[in-house]
Amino acid sequence: MTNGNANDKQTLVALVENRPGVLNRVASLFRRRNFNIDSLTVGRTENPEISRMTIVVDHDAEKVGNQLSKLVNVIEVQEVTDVPNVSRDLALIKVAVESSQARGEIVQLCDIFRAHIVDAGPDAMIIEITGDEQKISSMVELLRPLGIKELVRTGVVTMTRGDHVLAPDEFQMRSVKRTNGHRASVV
């Protein structure tokens, strides 16, 4: 059992059917079970019928994974916290530029953190940075005194290293009956 500290974060990867409502089912499960989601990202895989979720929680990942596995439309769930993996987060940070000195400091920080300036205006710059959560948090703390105007983070995506692959075994998409949007039809 975990106590919610940052070091207790656990990561799950789930393959789900790429259908409307799947994300709602997953979020509803977390709400019903009172699991806190630290980060949740969803994106398509190489198979357009399958999406991949990376879920970071501060709860017992095995318990969360068991609950997720029971949901319709969930194909596969694995906990990857202790598996060697590559995890990345992306952030866009809009920083105030009030002087040429501030502009120079921002450029220096971008060089140090291997971040990119993706937009530059007379009063603000937008910085794109990818990396682990700690790297992004460190960049944010160093930019904060310069004046962060806006910040957005994508959440963590994770892929295990080496030959370990999360792939569906003999997955076949269930057929969907086309309806007029009503649950019952009148005879």
What would the two tokens of residue 172 be?
Answer: 């076949």
Cβ neighbours, 10 Å, residue 58: 18
At 173 the pLDDT is 61
Give me the DSSP letters along 134-155.
HHHHHHHHHHHHHHEEEEEE--
What would the two tokens of residue 156 be?
Answer: 């963590």
Question: Rounded CA gap, 62 and 58, in Å?
Answer: 11
At 163 the pLDDT is 84
At 186 the pLDDT is 40
Of 79, 83, 86, 76, give the one whose Cα is nearest residue 167: 76
At 170 the pLDDT is 61
- pLDDT lower than 50: segments of the chain: 1-6, 178-187
Cα 147 to Cα 118, 131, 137, 154: the distances in Å are 17, 22, 15, 21
